[in-house]
Amino acid sequence: MQIHQQRPRELRWYHAAGMLFGDWGTSRLYVLGLAFFYSGFAAPVHILGVCTLMIVVGWAYTIVCRCFQDGGGVYSSAKATHQHVALLGAYLLFADYVVTAALSTVEAMRYFGASPRLAPQLAVPAILLIGVINFIGPRHAGRIATYIALLTLLLAVIIGAFCIPHLSLDAIQADHRPWSQRWPSFVHIILALSGVEAIANMTGVMVKPVPKTARRAIWVVLTEIVVLNLVFAVAMTHLPNLPGDILANRPPEELSHHDHALRDTMIRVLADHYVHPIFGTISSIVFGLLLLSATNTAMGGMISVQYVMSRDRELPSTFTRLNAFGVPWLGIATATVICSIVVLVQGDVEKLAHLYAIGVVGAIVLNLGSTCVNREIQVKTWERVCLGIAVAFLAAVEATIAYEKPEAALFAGIVIASGYGLRAMVRRAPALKPYIPKVTGAMAKWFEAPQLGEDVEILSSVGILPFDPGKKKILVATRGNPELLKFAAEEAESRDANLLVLFVREMRLAFGAPTATQFRVEDDAEAMPIFIQANQLARQMKIPLMPIYCVAPTTADMILDFAGTYGVDFVIMGVTRRGTVFRALRGDLITAVASGLPPDTKLLIHA
């Protein structure tokens, strides 16, 4: 049996840049308003400081991508140093994704026009809807997200162009407050770094040379973010009817509707004033869609973190179980529920920002710190020194967040404790199982490793004719239709042809770290009966058999790939029984295969 685990390197720099911008570039939609909220007319100074830090961190991640070309996220890079450091980084990254989804959804509702009180109430149904959509794993979600990101970039450039004639440094004020007030104000907008971790997670699927691909993507996106952030930061100091004091010093009940708009939707305020209110409304809709796209990306990240850790036996094996659409169903449920709870408990944009920063900065500190101290990778001495300085600075930021915002430290602590609790249950499950009551026996199975199928020996090739390249070839792709498999075997017998049985286990996950374990057909309860039946039919009908088990993002691409590789004469497929909504979200498999088959290969549809 052939087993293929596809991880194709087809992500070019502009693809990676679009995905990075969709994650990293959304931060300006709330960071600019928070900067003015905490610093007033000194906000451009703080934005300049954050932009400088973004440049340093962006440079640091070019080193991470260079050193970890098969996945350089915090879980992968920290694992090379110590497993517990990797676990801590993964838990902080998960916390980051949780608040990313919560904050992005609430901010999306604000850009759509919802009030601060109504936005969290609307955000929860939106999160649930995104969770349902992820359960099906829509095929074109990435393409739609790219279009939204490009449109957002265009609108941001237009707004920036209209702001340029009005730029002046006259309104900017130096921050004369005590250092004990200036430093926390800077820390409050450190979440502008959020999203940079995404580029490290993409290295495993980037085209080679990976360092060059990652470097171009990082610097292109970073240049756009820094330049436009500085333009917007200066332009917002010239808006009319700005408060003379710092809004953060006011009691929450004294904040007006205009004050909330400045804090939560600053880019829309800039578009309304410098371009036109109609343009501002259109831009707000697009910005809201981009934020929802960021929510979807964050949920995908949560699902991937849980899946990879489960594959490495750091979480219960239940998190690896895929639904019929190739998505881990428990990971989706966990991500959706946790994000909804966070929105209900801390639905205000300012409060969510506090929770956000501790996960963002913590994951970056562990990633860069692990890269800095790892002597097994090639990093120059001056690069290690610069990485160490950046880590020390960010560690001070992390300590400040934990000290100033106890609720953020509590949130991170709950996530970390929950992760280690599940890990302990995985480790102790075999010893505790005899003492678990039968009532909870079903729950105990969550913590068991997948068992080998009892019929593994039936997959033996004894008694089956070997694959004969000189004969015709028939490829059948099935997910368990016994009539389809029987029909394909009969066709192979009547045409004296080889039978290739292809089972594609779709896995629609965000780009993440590679796992320590490989996929096995014996662990796939859905694939085993198919190959057992194929072996039985091959023995009975005396036909050559080639079973192929494949793990890949899309079924159609794999069918076309193997059809071309083996030069098959016929491809046999069954008619889908899915409904219209499913086909709209996932696309029609038969159409996708028919449009890409070689001219000499015929498609037979069994209905």
Could you write out the DSSP letters of every residue in 225-258?
Answer: HHHHHHHHHHHGGG-TT--SS-GGGS-GGG--HH
584 has a pLDDT exceeding 60:
no
404 and 466 inside one domain:
no
Question: Max CA-CA distance within the chain?
Answer: 88
pLDDT band at 261 (very low <50, low <70, confident <90, very high): very high
pLDDT value, residue 450: 46
452 has a pLDDT exceeding 60:
no
What number is the average pLDDT over the span 284-288?
94
DSSP 260-291: HHHHH-HHHHHHHHHT-HHHHHHHHHHHHHHH
CB 534 within 8 A of CB 544: no
Q: Would residue 433 count as lying in a domain?
A: no
pLDDT value, residue 364: 93
pLDDT value, residue 467: 85
416 and 461 inside one domain:
no
How far is 130 from 304, CA to CA, in rounded Å? 16
- Please say which residue of 425, 446, 481 terminates a domain: 425
pLDDT band at 50 (very low <50, low <70, confident <90, very high): very high
pLDDT digits (tens, 9 = 90+) for 553-570: 778 888 988 888 888 999
CB 329 within 8 A of CB 320: no
Q: Would residue 445 count as lying in a domain?
A: no
CB 195 within 8 A of CB 101: no
- For tokens 């691409």, the residue is 557
pLDDT digits (tens, 9 = 90+) for 57-67: 999 999 999 99
pLDDT value, residue 263: 93
CATH code at position 113? 1.20.1740.10
416 and 466 inside one domain:
no
Alpha helices in 405-542 (DSSP H): 406-432, 441-444, 482-494, 527-541
DSSP state of 572: E
DSSP state of 575: P
pLDDT digits (tens, 9 = 90+) for 477-524: 888 788 899 999 999 999 999 999 999 888 766 555 555 556 777 777
pLDDT band at 216 (very low <50, low <70, confident <90, very high): very high
CATH code at position 599? 3.40.50.620
How far is 397 from 366, CA to CA, in rounded Å? 13
183 and 114 inside one domain:
yes
Q: Which amino acid is at 29?
A: L
Among residues 460, 64, 516, 20, the alpha carbon closest in space to that of 225 is found at 20
Burial of 174 (0-12, 13-18, 19+ CB in 10 A): exposed
Q: Would residue 3 count as lying in a domain?
A: no
pLDDT band at 444 (very low <50, low <70, confident <90, very high): very low
- Please say which residue of 425, 446, 467 terminates a domain: 425
How far is 183 from 194, CA to CA, in rounded Å? 19
pLDDT digits (tens, 9 = 90+) for 319-368: 888 777 778 888 889 999 999 999 998 888 888 887 888 888 999 999 99
How far is 388 from 441, CA to CA, in rounded Å? 49
What number is the average pLDDT over the span 246-267?
91
pLDDT value, residue 554: 78
Structure tokens at 41: 């007319």
pLDDT band at 120 (very low <50, low <70, confident <90, very high): very high
Among residues 294, 341, 359, 266, the alpha carbon closest in space to that of 19 is found at 294
25 and 145 inside one domain:
yes
Q: Which amino acid is at 20?
A: L
Q: Domain of 177? A: 10-425
Number of domains in the chain: 2
321 and 221 inside one domain:
yes
pLDDT value, residue 323: 77
DSSP 36-89: HHHHGGGHHHHHHHHHHHHHHHHHHHHHHHHH-TT--SHHHHHHTT-HHHHHHH
460 and 413 inside one domain:
no
255 and 378 inside one domain:
yes
pLDDT digits (tens, 9 = 90+) for 391-404: 999 999 999 988 88
Q: What percent of the chain has pLDDT over 70?
A: 88
411 and 492 inside one domain:
no
What number is the average pLDDT over the span 174-202?
88
**The sheet that has 602-606: what strands, in order across it?**
2-5, 545-552, 497-506, 472-477, 570-574, 602-606
1 has a pLDDT exceeding 80:
no
Residue 284 CB partners (closer than 8 Å, separation 6+): 111, 112, 113, 265, 268, 271
432 has a pLDDT exceeding 60:
no
Which DSSP helix (H) or strand (E) runs through 502?
strand 497-506
Phi, psi angles (nearest 5°) of residue 326: 85, 20
477 and 411 inside one domain:
no
594 has a pLDDT exceeding 90:
no
Q: Would residue 105 count as lying in a domain?
A: yes
Q: Would residue 451 count as lying in a domain?
A: no
Q: Would residue 439 count as lying in a domain?
A: no
pLDDT value, residue 233: 95
Q: Would residue 591 count as lying in a domain?
A: yes
pLDDT band at 576 (very low <50, low <70, confident <90, very high): low
pLDDT value, residue 16: 85
CB 46 within 8 A of CB 186: yes
52 has a pLDDT exceeding 60:
yes
How far is 40 from 172, CA to CA, in rounded Å? 9
59 and 191 inside one domain:
yes
- For tokens 């305020």, the residue is 269
Which DSSP helix (H) or strand (E) runs through 345?
helix 329-345
6 has a pLDDT exceeding 50:
yes
pLDDT value, residue 429: 63
Q: Would residue 595 count as lying in a domain?
A: yes
pLDDT digits (tens, 9 = 90+) for 456-486: 444 666 678 888 888 999 999 888 788 899 9
CB 188 within 8 A of CB 357: yes
396 and 519 inside one domain:
no
Structure tokens at 113: 């026009």
DSSP 380-427: -HHHHHHHHHHHHHHHHHHHHHHHH-HHHHHHHHHHHHHHHHHHHHHH
Determine which of 82-91, 214-223, 335-344 has the lowest per-residue pLDDT on average.
82-91
How far is 195 from 202, CA to CA, in rounded Å? 12
Helix, strand, coil % over all residues of the chain, rounded to 5? 70, 5, 25
What number is the average pLDDT over the span 231-238?
95
pLDDT digits (tens, 9 = 90+) for 524-540: 778 888 888 999 899 89
SS3 label, residue 322: strand
Among residues 297, 308, 324, the alpha carbon closest in space to that of 136 is found at 324
pLDDT value, residue 449: 44
406 has a pLDDT exceeding 80:
yes
Determine which of 132-141, 315-324, 430-439, 543-552 has the lowest per-residue pLDDT on average.
430-439
pLDDT value, residue 256: 92
